[in-house]
Amino acid sequence: MGNVIAVLVVVLVVWGVITGIRRNRRGLVAERGTSIGADLGALSDQPVVRVRTLTREGPGHYLLVLTPEPGPDDAPVAQTSPDIEMVVNLTEDQFGFDLLREWERSKAPIAMVIPPESRLVRLRSIDDLQPLTLSRVDRE
């Protein structure tokens, strides 16, 4: 009788663990735009841009102008997409400043992710996979 109860307890525990994992499975799987692995998996889905200019807009703020690159399926009309302008929190002593200047100089292709309802913009170099997250500022 003791063996039957032990087997029943083991079966109930295994069933509970499996049920818990299935209910919370979303938290166990990387979602696009929330981790490095997800960024790497989503690079082909993201718009590709190049840094056109980075100019000082004010104390601690820079105007970042990104030029969209046409995708392989884009029509000639879509190749004339307007530049993307954003003011970002950035100072000359931050790592991101030097990285943006390097991307501007080398014309490196960059994948861009802007999470919905967020001030953040996430950039990742397609060549060397170097990431950079910037905080956007509203223009006044």
Same domain as 123, residue 54: yes
Report d(CA 45, CA 20) in Å as an integer: 32
Q: What is the pLDDT of residues 54-73, one digit of tens each?
A: 999 889 999 999 999 876 65
What is the mean pLDDT of the segment spanning 103-112? 92
Same domain as 63, residue 99: yes
Q: What token pair was written down for 124?
A: 């990742």
Same domain as 44, residue 23: no
Instruction: Tell me: pLDDT of 86 over 50.
Output: yes
List the domain range (segments joined by +) for residue 120.
36-137
Same domain as 46, residue 110: yes
- Encode 119-137: b = buried (16+ Cβ within 10 Å), e = exposed: eebbbbbeeeeeebebeeb
Same domain as 93, residue 48: yes
Report d(CA 67, CA 85) in Å as an integer: 9
35, 85, 113 from 48: Cα distances, Å = 19, 15, 10
Report d(CA 97, CA 54) in Å as an integer: 9
Higher pLDDT, 43 or 92: 92
Q: How many domains does the chain have?
A: 2
